[in-house]
Amino acid sequence: MKVLVTRTLPGKALDRLRERGLEVVVHQGLFLPREELLRKVEGAVGLIPTVEDRIDAQVMERAKTLRVIACYSVGVDHVDLEAARARGIRVTHTPEALTAATADLTLALLLAVARRVVEGVDYARQGQWQAWHPELLLGLDLEGLTLGIVGMGRIGQAVAQRAEAFGLRVAYTSRQPKPLPYPRLSLEELLETADIVSLHAPLTPETHRLMNRERLWAMKRGAILLNTARGGLVDTLALVEALEGHLFGAGLDVTDPEPLPPDHPLYRRPNAVITPHMGSAGRRTRERMAEMAVENLLAVLEGREPPNPVV
């Protein structure tokens, strides 16, 4: 029985599949071209895809024997869940394993944007650092500012915890009230009051372009936008405009399109700090994600309920 793993994974988790006598096909490239995915998935009973593989009905049609899609991510917006449900294919994901790592990166982006860290590093590297000056590279003081969290789930709450240590006040918006010691506001109220808006909701039809032009301009003048959720939550071109004068800056680990092409106007904004979708890129985190994906996959193939089901 064949299992397709669409990238090499850190750690030894895949050995467990081999020990069970499964044929494990691991794609070795940096990315997996669509045609190759369609070809390689044929005859597979299990699939471990990454966020960059679009797993839609066409893929599932090719993989007539497919029983489980064990996502190597918590977000499952790259998988057509309805198509999987209709075919009786189970879909699983890796919640919790990457919560701390992604929350850490969100704070890294916040500090980088607020205190102009990347501009400072470039300034020093490029030989411009000639003297200390009271007005050089002035940024935002975080203490006392309000952080508004959109999507107060696992990662949103981990970001809130970390933000408190920096003296930030926290507010949030979500569809369901939570038993949390922070004010829950409507999105509109949040945008009016927050000095920093951090996105942590999944990408769904409801959240697609949630931060459109109108909402970006409804943010406070001089505010910061952080997105470590999914690029599709933000209208990218509207953000480029908002960064020219309205917003203080943006910290983005995810973009739309993704990857962001090298000539994209966002890269020309010095107040945009962009990382290449590396929220979960801690070695231990990525190894743990692999272990979870393998456990979920094996559970389905062995007729057990997977620990982290989506479908």
Cβ 196 to ligand NAP shortest distance, Å: 16
Cβ 15 to ligand NAP shortest distance, Å: 25
Stretch touching ligand NAP by CB under 6 A, among 80-88, 159-167, 260-268, 275-283: 275-283
Residue positions annotated with a catalytic role? 230, 258, 277
| Nearer of residues 146 and 285 to ligand NAP, judged by Cβ | 285
Identified binder of ligand NAP from the candidate list 4, 254, 274, 293, rule CB under 6 A = 254
| Nearer of residues 45 and 211 to ligand NAP, judged by Cβ | 211
Q: Does 10 bind ligand NAP (CB under 6 A)?
A: no
150 touches 236 (CB < 8 A): no
Binding mask 82-101 for ligand NAP (x = CB under 6 A): -------------x--xx--
Stretch touching ligand NAP by CB under 6 A, among 58-66, 135-143, 161-169, 226-234: 226-234
| Nearer of residues 223 and 274 to ligand NAP, judged by Cβ | 274
Cβ 104 to ligand NAP shortest distance, Å: 11
Identified binder of ligand NAP from the candidate list 19, 143, 206, 263, rule CB under 6 A = 206
Angle, alpha carbons 112-123-276 (nearest 5°): 40
Q: Which residues in this chain contact ligand NAP in the complex, by CB under 6 A?
A: 74-75, 95, 98-99, 102, 150-156, 173-176, 200-203, 206-207, 228-230, 253-254, 277, 279-280
